[in-house]
Structure 1
Amino acid sequence: MKTKLPKDPFDTACWSRGGITDPRQILAEVFNCSDIETLRTEIKQIVSYAQVDKLYKDHSPCDVLLDMKMVRSVLKAAHALKDEKISPVAVSANDIFDKSYYCSPHSKSGLWSDFPRCLSRDEFCNPYRVLKKFFKKQSLSKWVQDWEAMTECALSRHSCDTDLGSLQFYMRLVKLVEAAYLIDVREVTHIGRRLKNRFADQ
């Protein structure tokens, strides 16, 4: 007898409690499991170690692979949202230092740790601009392939054979993760173990 596997278009079952099919809830779950500072640092470490003949030993391989899988789900969720033109939350240039637009209420990090490092002012105001530009550069499957290759190289004693342009790759991927984080902070709220759209009843 064949068992039907649940639909899991964003590859969440390998790191979360079950398949999630709403892209905004993917972002909410990722940033419930981790924080933006941790993911930004992990991406930097993975990309750095992928370029040298050294084994990444700062965290256990299981933790590194877990972070890789979460970022991979962010890539897929961001791809599903890439055609959105603007957030339902209007943010102006004067709001840049208003913590309610960039600081998650359940974050354990400080205000400076949550603040986006790589986004321009326009991208801070409308993070969907980042998503659109990111996937114009190359396809989702290529981004996923490159990210998995970076992680494999970081966990190997040998550097990547292919030139993935480490600095550009890092900057683009961190920009995407920061934009995804802002979408989560502004549009999705956690209620207990449930995830609820903040604007569903408005």
Structure 2
Amino acid sequence: MGAAFVLLAILPVGPASWLAVTVLSLHVINSSDASSSRRGALILLAVTVPMLWSRLFFHFFAELVLRIDAALVGWILRTPRTGDVVEFADASGVLVILPGCSSLANVSLAFLCWVTLSQLVSHKKTAYDLFWCLMACFSVVAVNVTRISFMGLSQWHYAMFHSWWGGAVANTTILGLTIGFCVLGVRRELFRPI
């Protein structure tokens, strides 16, 4: 097992290294008696989601994911769409939703944030954990689709919201909402008296 891990880890192929990290994390989770080791391995396993598994998922389902984003944007703008192409609300052109515009990458980061915070504070699992994690993930999709919808209003809006500033505002909002929902989910452990 150790030799296979080292071989996968030293190969100059990123996905092979992340696969090795996945296997190592699962091994530590299943074999370690120390709570801190298992928590660390869970965080490491969660890191593999945006680095490997969401990318692999996107590779196979990119068309579906982009069509869902386009359908949401078209629904908000009330404009026709074909595949991942949405007409501008003022009919001055079309907006193509490309893989870099997808909500999926940031959703995997919201999941990573939830796992990291919950393991960091030794959060006791509750029935509401899925709710808080999904709220963080849905907030990412909501902000991303809202930004793309603003871009789809007109050429001017596209230039404004597709700029560096538009990206910075959207990413800051996503970060704030993601951390906010995750903190709400672990608030009992996070704010307990020492």
When normalised by structure 2's length, the TM-score is: 0.30
TM-score using structure 1 length: 0.29
Larger radius of gyration: 2
